[in-house]
């Protein structure tokens, strides 16, 4: 018996990501209204301050970053510390080994935690200058890690809420330096390089120009940044922050651009928190890896991706890599645009 046709009207629209080539499904037939994504009951992930491992200021010997080098133990606001349970540790440069048909390499690298002082105040509720500090520490720690020749890529990410994988509720970000270029970054770089060879233009600059004109997925704009709901959003209410100035590397962002990056990050997270009642989310940076020369990844355009935890990957998503989103990015953008922050 052939598969049964339920309706002649298409139940969904498949969209392809211009950079990765990934397909996503926007399920128009089972689409939900933006209000359906608002967190109903507040399952607050909040650990007690007395049991919080991030309350103490580390001694300068252990500390990796202190503001202007003269932060005192009692007035610290931000610090970078080594992760107590690192996924990657410092060691000799990794060289691939074989084991029968397999290849493996030591997990050489760095794993640090960036902690802000307040036990509960997330980035969405921070002041502009506080978020600027965080951005600056990301850059400084990244540059410090890149001084090690074994490091090929530095990943910066932030998990907010237990659904997003945070095991400590106190706001913090993590930075991991890797001896390899991770697969998602490699794919993003490849897609950007392919587009550049075909069009002699940056794929992200092309998207930015189009999205600014189209306007329907544009959520926020300041001097140097745009916040968009991506055309091929993998999850409902996914956001992307793009610097308007073409730059391959986040660590090269200068002070006046950093103001805009901090503002765009704070506004994006505040809109999500305000509009959807503080959903859990992950955000991470995509930036060019270490190259043979400065121009090697000149086609690339660094950016930040924010992924709210609005759905669980089940058999179809894991088996195919196609995520079904129950809201069109245009509707998510229209909803978030109107959230006052
Ligand atoms: Zn704490
Ligand atoms: Zn560009």
The domain locations on the chain are 19-27+62-337
- The reported pLDDT for the residue numbered 73 is 61
Q: Distance, CA 264 to ligand 2 centroid (Å)?
A: 18
pLDDT-derived band at 27, boundaries 50, 70, 90: confident
Q: Which ligand is nearest to the CA of 297?
A: 2
Res 70 pLDDT > 90: no
Q: Distance, CA 54 to ligand 1 centroid (Å)?
A: 5
For residue range 259-291, list pLDDT tens digits in order.
999 999 999 999 999 999 999 999 999 999 987
Out of 172, 286, 301, 303, pick the active-site residue: 172
Residues by chain with Cβ below 5 Å of ion ligand 2: 202, 204-205, 246, 301
- The reported pLDDT for the residue numbered 74 is 64
Q: How many residues does the chain have?
A: 341
Q: What is the pTM of this model?
A: 0.92
For residue 36, give both structure tokens.
Answer: 């359906």
For residue 278, give both structure tokens.
Answer: 């503080």
Residue pair 115/59 in contact by the 8 Å Cβ criterion: no
- What is the distance between the alpha carbons of residues 39 and 54, in angstroms, rounded to a whole number? 27
97 is catalytic: no
Q: Distance, CA 319 to ligand 1 centroid (Å)?
A: 38
The CATH architecture to which 19-27+62-337 belongs is 2-Layer Sandwich (3.30)
- What is the distance between the alpha carbons of residues 110 and 152, in angstroms, rounded to a whole number? 11
Pairing between β-strand 78-82 and β-strand 110-116 as defined by DSSP bridges? antiparallel
Q: Distance, CA 155 to ligand 2 centroid (Å)?
A: 20
Q: Which ligand is nearest to the CA of 50?
A: 1
Q: Which ligand is nearest to the CA of 243?
A: 2
pLDDT-derived band at 254, boundaries 50, 70, 90: very high
Q: Which ligand is nearest to the CA of 203?
A: 2
Q: Distance, CA 282 to ligand 2 centroid (Å)?
A: 24
Tokens 């499904």 sit on residue: 25
**Average pLDDT across the chain, whole number:** 89
Res 78 pLDDT > 70: yes
**Bridge partner residues of 226 (DSSP):** 221, 242
Q: Distance, CA 119 to ligand 1 centroid (Å)?
A: 4
pLDDT-derived band at 63, boundaries 50, 70, 90: low
């Amino acid at each position: 018996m052939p598969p049964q046709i339920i309706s002649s009207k298409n139940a969904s629209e498949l969209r392809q990501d211009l950079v990765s080539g990934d397909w996503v499904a926007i399920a128009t037939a089972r689409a939900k209204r933006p209000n359906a994504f608002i967190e109903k009951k507040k399952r607050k992930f909040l650990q007690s301050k007395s049991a919080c491992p991030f309350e103490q200021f580390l001694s300068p010997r252990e500390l990796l970053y202190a503001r202007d080098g003269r932060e005192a133990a009692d007035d610290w606001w931000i610090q970078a510390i080594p992760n107590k349970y690192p996924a990657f540790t410092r060691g000799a440069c990794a060289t691939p080994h074989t084991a029968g048909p397999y290849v493996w390499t030591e997990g050489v690298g760095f794993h640090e935690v960036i902690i802000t002082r307040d036990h509960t105040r997330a980035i969405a509720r921070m002041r502009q200058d506080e978020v600027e500090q965080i951005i600056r520490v990301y850059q400084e720690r990244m540059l410090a890690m890149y001084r090690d020749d074994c490091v090929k890529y530095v990943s910066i990410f932030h998990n907010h809420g237990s659904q997003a994988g945070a095991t400590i509720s106190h706001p913090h970000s993590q930075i991991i330096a890797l001896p390899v270029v991770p697969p998602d970054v490699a794919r993003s770089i490849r897609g950007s390089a392919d587009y550049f060879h075909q069009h002699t233009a940056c794929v992200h600059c092309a998207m930015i120009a189009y999205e600014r004109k189209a306007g329907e997925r544009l959520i926020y704009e300041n001097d140097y940044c745009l916040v968009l709901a991506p055309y091929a959003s993998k999850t409902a209410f996914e956001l992307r922050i793009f610097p308007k100035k073409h730059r391959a590397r986040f660590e090269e962002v200068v002070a006046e651009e950093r103001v805009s990056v901090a503002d765009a990050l704070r506004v994006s997270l505040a809109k999500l928190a305000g509009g959807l009642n503080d959903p859990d989310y992950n955000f991470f940076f995509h930036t060019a890896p270490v190259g043979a020369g400065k121009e090697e990844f000149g086609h690339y355009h660094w950016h930040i991706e924010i992924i709210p935890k609005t759905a669980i990957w089940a058999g179809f998503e894991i088996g195919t890599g196609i995520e079904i989103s129950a809201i069109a990015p245009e509707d998510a953008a229209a909803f978030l645009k109107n959230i006052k922050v």
